[in-house]
Structure 1
Amino acid sequence: MTTLAARQGLDLVRWVLATLLFIHGLARVLAGGVAPFGAFLDAQGFPAGLVLAWAVTVFELVAAPVMAWGRWVTPVALVFAAIYACGIWLVHAPAGWFVVGLGRNGAEYSVLIIACLLANAWAYRRHPRLSKGAEP
């Protein structure tokens, strides 16, 4: 980053994203939502829906703190973006754009999360011309 303020702003976005993504997985576990998520994936034609549901949930619980810590931000953010893109495809796009107000359960919140994830992935990518340990 070129300025301290820009770096601090990106850190804030990364920490908030990581917190939201962690809570998403934690809430699923605490509410007993992993099995229904797996059944939903099975119904959509995914093989081993319960295994996939647990994989997504464990990823949220493990990778979100890693991203908050500032480690492996680019690959973690890209995987999260892919997961949320699938969520849009399977759940949110059919419900429309708006989450509340003019609609319900739409894609707008997920689009914002994906944009923030991709911005972090871009900012933390490794530049071939930079030294191995260089900051983004």
Structure 2
Amino acid sequence: MTQAVLLPRPLVNQLLTEAQRNAEIEVCGLIGARDGRPERFYPVANVAERPGELFRMDPAGQIDAMRRMREAGETLFAVYHSHPHAPARPSARDLEEAAYPEALYLIASLDTKGVLELRGYRLADGEAAEVPLELEEMAD
């Protein structure tokens, strides 16, 4: 069985809050990590023609996020997006367009009768392998 990925609760809360705040579009962005530990959330504008159904990161925003990550001594940990009206599973298009096989792909779904769902996947060669996620509680 695949080992669970530990996600800090504040990072997950940021992602889910952004998805809820923009409930009619697919929000998207990157998560940077230091020493393999996810630390920072980098929202990127969705510039898809139909942002309620697809996501396409703004190229300049994505480059800027990667630059900021590098300057902070971080590496790409995850690519995230939301599905306002679909389950938290990769679509055929998500599989086709997955460009970072080393990254975790996080999908948040709002299509769950008021309960937010977040799932993680490794996407490579047109295949999706689900990765268990665990929330890390932060000490006060």
Q: TM-score, normalised by structure 1?
A: 0.26
Q: Which has the larger radius of gyration?
A: 1
Structure in which a larger fraction of residues adopt helix: 1
Q: TM-score, normalised by structure 2?
A: 0.26
